Amino acid sequence: MRDDGVSAEGLLAWYDGHARALPWRVPPRSGLRADPYRVWLSEVMLQQTTVAAVKDYFARFTTRWPTVDDLAAAADGDVMAEWAGLGYYARARNLLACARAVVARHGGVFPSDLAGLRALPGIGPYTAAAVAAIAFGRSEVVVDGNVERVMARVFAVDTPLPAAKPALTALAAGLTPDQRAGDYAQAVMDLGATICTPRNPACGICPWLTGCAARQQGIAASLPRKAPKVEKPTRAGTVWLARREDGALLLERRPDRGLLGGTLGFPGDAWDGAAGLAPLVSDWAAAGEVRHTFTHFHLILSVQTAQVSQNATATRGEFLGRNLFSPQDLPTLMRKAHDLAFG
SS (H, E, C) 126-154: HHHHHHHHHHHCCCCCCCCHHHHHHHHHH
Q: How far apart are CA 206 and CA 188, in angstroms?
A: 11
Q: What is the DSSP letter of 182?
A: H
Phi, psi at 63, each rounded to 5° = -75, -45
Count, residues in the chain: 343
Q: What is the DSSP code string of 58-88? A: HHHHHHH--SHHHHHTS-HHHHHHHHTTS--
Is the Cβ–Cβ distance between 74 and 65 less than 8 Å?
yes
**Given 43, 82, 140, 148, the catalytic residue:** 43
Integer angstrom CA distances of residue 307 from 29, 55, 247, 289 = 61, 38, 9, 18
Question: 222, 287 in Cβ contact below 8 A?
Answer: no
183 in Cβ contact with 139 (< 8 Å) = no
How far apart (Å, rounded) are the C-alpha atoms in residues 223 and 225?
A: 5
Q: Rounded CA gap, 6 and 25, in Å?
A: 25
Q: Provide the β-strand partners of residue 264.
A: 253
**AA letter at 163:** A
Q: Report how far Cα 166 is from the mean position of its chain's Cα atoms.
A: 22
Give the C-alpha separation, 292 to 234, whole Å: 10
Active site residue 43: yes
- Beta carbons of 241 and 266 less than 8 angstroms apart: yes
Separation CA 304–CA 155 (nearest Å): 54
- Residues annotated as catalytic (active site), given as ranges: 43
